[in-house]
Amino acid sequence: MNWGNRDTTGRRILILGGTTEARELAGLLVKAGYAVTTSLAGRTDTPRFPEGVVRMGGFGGREGLAEYLKSNRIEMVVDATHPFAAQISANAVAAAADAKVRLIRLERPAWKKPEGAIWLEVGSTLDAVHALPRGARVLLTVGRQDLGQFLAQTNVEFVARMIEVPAGLPTDWTVIAARGPFTLEGETELMEEHGITHLVTKNSGGAQVAAKLAAATQLSIPIIVIRRPRLPRAETVDSVAWAQEAIARIFRTG
Ligand code: NAP
């Protein structure tokens, strides 16, 4: 084994991004001398750009991504997309296999039920819609892409919080544009101010937006949690530090 001997400077890494972790990892890898490109889907109008090269927009499915990997001589793919971005994660596993490129997935740990929480796990967004009782006043924190299925639910009041507000939301919704991190104090105040009776969230995980769970627990507000989608198997690490370590190990040992 050639542990620790091989120079990793300039090794070509593609990070599939769109998360805080992807941005942090890009910064660390650039500093360590890797040639890093981060790919963003281009969904938000005001993305926060990582260090290194950034490309935007879809690849054109599995084939397009495999072609990109080959033509850009990518040596490793890091899938650091959001845990609910299931399509790109599936494409990444398949395309990396097609192009014979190593892939690791960086996936932050899922949230667990806080002690004392009223916690209902559901398998899909539609199940979350159906779990809401008539007359509920709901803090909806599922992101703007997943609001569609809640629009038909007219016997419930919504306070929807998201980073960027799309046009055309119902006028009787309360819409809040905000980007984490959020504090326990702030989340408690928000829930009290709006008389929230239910919280709906994806199980996104991570510390940045976890305060809502503690606030809802303290206020005895039921939390409806949408389970993560299943992803194809891949070598997975659960933190930026472990990702950096795994990348260095793989390049050094081949
Ligand atoms: P998705 O459903 O898994 O992907 C749909 C398509 O969007 C993919 O097939 C791919 O198009 C393109 N795409 C997705 N991520 C991409 C990336 N990083 N670079 C280039 N193309 C990408 O993804 P999604 O749920 O719409 O999420 C889109 C992006 O937003 C992801 O990067 C994700 O990390 C971020 N995000 C998602 C959520 C969420 O809740 N889903 C939350 C926060 C951030 P082609 O097939 O044409 O390649």
79 contact partners, CB below 8 Å, separation of at least 6: 16, 88, 89, 92, 93, 103, 104, 105, 106, 234
Side by side, the strands of the sheet bearing 12-16 are 53-56, 35-40, 12-16, 76-79, 102-106, 235-237
Domains 12-109+230-253 and 119-226 equal at CATH topology level: yes
Q: Is the pLDDT of residue 10 over 80?
A: yes
- How far is the C-alpha of 94 from the C-alpha of 66, rounded, in Å? 8
Q: Which atom of ligand 1 is nearest to the CA of 17?
A: 18
pLDDT of residue 1: 37
What is the CA(81)–ligand 1 centre distance, in A? 7
Average pLDDT over residues 221-248: 98
DSSP state of 232: -
> Structurally, what CATH architecture does the domain formed by 12-109+230-253 represent?
3-Layer(aba) Sandwich (3.40)
With a pLDDT cut of 90, the percent of the chain lying above it is 91
User: Which amino acid makes up residue 36?
Assistant: V
Mean pLDDT value across residues 172-181? 95
pLDDT band at 7 (very low <50, low <70, confident <90, very high): confident
Residue recorded with tokens 């959020």? 182
For residues 137 and 198, the answer to whether their CB atoms sit within 8 Å is: yes
Q: How far is the CA of 224 from the centre of ligand 1 (A)?
A: 24
Ligand 1 pocket, 226 CB below 6 A? no
**Residue that wins the pLDDT comparison between 43 and 109:** 109
pLDDT of residue 6: 66
Taking the centre of ligand 1 as the mean of its atom positions, its distance from the CA of residue 76, in whole angstroms, is: 19
- CA 32 from centre of chain: 25
Report the CATH architecture of 119-226: 3-Layer(aba) Sandwich (3.40)
Comparing CA positions, the residue from 49, 102, 32 lying closest to residue 245 is 32
- Dump pLDDT digits (tens) for 199-220: 999 999 999 999 999 999 999 9
* Model confidence at 3: pLDDT above 60: no
- How far is Cα 236 from Cα 181, in angstroms, rounded to an integer? 25
What phi and psi values does residue 165 have, to the nearest 5 degrees? -90, 120
pLDDT in tens, 21-33: 999 999 999 999 9
In the chain, where the domains are located: 12-109+230-253, 119-226
Over range 185-195, report the average pLDDT. Answer: 98
